[in-house]
Amino acid sequence: MQASPAPLTPPAMSEMAKLTRGSIRGHLVSQTMPMIFGVAAIMSVGLIDAYFIGQLGAQELAAVSFIFPITIALSSLGVGVMVGINSVIARALGEGDVPRAERRANFGAVFALVAGLVLGLGLYLLLDPLFRLMQASENLLPLIGQYMRPYALGLPIMLLQMGLNGVLRGQGEARKTSYVSLTYSVANWILDPILITGAFGIAGFGIAGAAYATIAGFFIAILVALWLIRGAKLHIHPAAIRDCDVGASSKAILSVAAPAAFSNAINPIGLSVLTALLANQGEAAVAGFGAAGRLQSFAVVPLLALSGSIGAIVGQNWGARRPDRARRAMWWSGLFCIGYGLAIALVLFFTGDWFADIFTDNPAVIEEFSRYLAISVWGYAGFGLLIVANGALNAVDKAGFALAQSAARVFLVMLPFGWLLRAYWGSPAIYAAELVANLAGGALAAFIVWRVLRAPSEKGGAAQTNS
């Protein structure tokens, strides 16, 4: 009689799998709370930018409405790189291969810098064609260029900062990554009024000042990140790259970074197209949509934080052959998405006019701002389910599913709905398109992630991820 195979055992390094024990709800809270502060700090930068730029006039605010989706898309690519670096470092540490983890940490930082150089050069050269494609009017293009040209030159700094955050996250240094995010945000808060509108005898640079503040904030955050890494397990010393297999390391990072980046970028790409569709409704519609979008980004911070923390919880339990705990984590996360999504929707529905007054005193812009919130907020719960499901799917090596459902939400629901109905409903059709897409995307994501997380128990063990 053939002997039965030895049972599968959890990862050897128990410290790396601490989320496989204890209360699931406790882990959700402890992992998500630090991320809320970090994500909130970053998102607040967009709000502060919008506020001070709004003081310059409606045209500048309309220009930012075109700029915002592009900067979010580029940030999404940076987040993808960060997730890729985080993943390869965490896997190497989990396997006990500290030298490989250190090589890939150093290579990851260089990889992020090079990616930023390539993206920045491409953006700089294609600025005008890109924004003409988005239907930006000729009178807005000079304002857009004032912001985007220095921003493009600063992209290597942005991606390096995100790469260093990936190095910290891969080591489990969540608190330190929050410090880096707070540093970037505080620098922006201080520099925005000085560089945009002027203060302390310094003449403001207008809309370009917001870009200068962003770049300066990232540079300061890099210095803080390098200082914090000195106290971590893995250090930054470029000499480690000499022993690094460039091809294998690039492939390992890109296998995670590419689908994560595209999945994150799909939503802002969709918002860019919606902005283009809104352009024929007038600058007030574009300005109101963009300003309200900044507020919306801040309102969903807890959902974004949960989507970032769920990966570690689901991933560790999946790897430890505890799919029951992974499913429980998704169950509680889903309940939170629905409860929080509905609660914040009610708040913004009744306070839309008040928030609009903060951003602008233009009556037409205020009207569009309030109209957008009145319609779109009811999809927050669905949006939360989608992004949290994406975090879980990436953790269990199902990034393709995450990319597919994000693409379906935008390209099969949001854009066709907005395109077909805008001629009849005007701007409300665009806002309703986002609502319908979020509801449909959330329902689809909940179904897919539940089916995926049921698979291990049916097969007798969790799937293995590549090292």
Longest Cα–Cα distance in the chain: 88
Give pLDDT, residue 91: 63
Angle at 69 between CA 356 and CA 380, to 5 degrees: 60
Angle at 429 between CA 131 and CA 441, to 5 degrees: 85
The b-or-e profile of 291-312 (16+ CB within 10 A means b, else e) is: bbbbbbbbbbbbbbbbbbbbbb
Would you give the DSSP letter of residue 409? I
Angle at 128 between CA 220 and CA 212, to 5 degrees: 15
- For 346-358, how does the pLDDT look when each residue is reduced to its tens digit (9 = 90+)? 998 888 778 877 7
- Got the DSSP string for 98-150? HHHHHHHHHHHHHHHHHHHHHHHHHHHHTHHHHHHHTT--TTTHHHHHHHHHH
Beta partners for residue 203, in sequence order: 198
Going by pLDDT thresholds of 50, 70 and 90, the confidence category of residue 124 is very high
Going by pLDDT thresholds of 50, 70 and 90, the confidence category of residue 48 is confident
Beta strands 202-203 and 198-199 are antiparallel
Average confidence (pLDDT) over 315-333: 80
Dihedral sign of CA atoms 66, 68, 72, 75 in order: positive
**Of 90-94, 224-228, 285-289, minimum mean pLDDT range:** 90-94
> Phi, psi (5° rounding) for residue 464?
-90, 140
Give pLDDT, residue 95: 59
What mean pLDDT value characterizes the chain?
80
Give pLDDT, residue 9: 43
Would you give the DSSP letter of residue 22? S
Give pLDDT, residue 456: 52
Is 310 within 8 Å of 329 (Cβ atoms)?
Answer: yes
List Cα–Cα distances, 148 to 123, 201, 273, 312, in angstroms: 8, 26, 18, 35
Closest Cα to residue 365, out of 272, 421, 427, 419? Answer: 427
List Cα–Cα distances, 4 to 1, 159, 189, 458, 460, in angstroms: 9, 49, 62, 18, 14
Q: Give the span between the Cα atoms of 216 and 227, in whole angstroms.
A: 17
Going by pLDDT thresholds of 50, 70 and 90, the confidence category of residue 226 is very high
Average confidence (pLDDT) over 229-240: 76
Beta partners for residue 199, in sequence order: 202
Q: Give the span between the Cα atoms of 35 and 28, in whole angstroms.
A: 11
Q: Per-residue pLDDT for 118 more than 90? A: yes
Closest Cα to residue 351, out of 338, 366, 329? Answer: 366
Beta partners for residue 285, in sequence order: none
| Residue 353, amino acid | D
Beta partners for residue 188, in sequence order: none
- Number of other residues whose CB lies within 10 A of the CB of residue 424: 8
Give pLDDT, residue 1: 39
Q: How many helices (H) and strands (E) does the chain have?
A: 17, 2
- Got the DSSP string for 30-60? HHHHHHHHHHHHHHHHHHHHHHHHHTT-HHH
First to last CA, the chain: 34
% of the chain exceeding 90 in pLDDT: 20
- Number of other residues whose CB lies within 10 A of the CB of residue 48: 21
Give pLDDT, residue 14: 38
Q: Per-residue pLDDT for 403 more than 60? A: yes
Going by pLDDT thresholds of 50, 70 and 90, the confidence category of residue 460 is very low
Q: Give the span between the Cα atoms of 235 and 207, in whole angstroms.
A: 38
| Residue 167, amino acid | V
**Verdict on whether the full-model pTM lies above 0.75:** no
Average confidence (pLDDT) over 324-334: 89
Average confidence (pLDDT) over 308-315: 73
Going by pLDDT thresholds of 50, 70 and 90, the confidence category of residue 389 is very high
Q: Per-residue pLDDT for 145 more than 80? A: yes
Top mean-pLDDT range of 25-34, 87-96, 102-111, 261-270: 102-111
| Residue 171, amino acid | Q
Q: Which two tokens stand for residue 302?
A: 């807890």
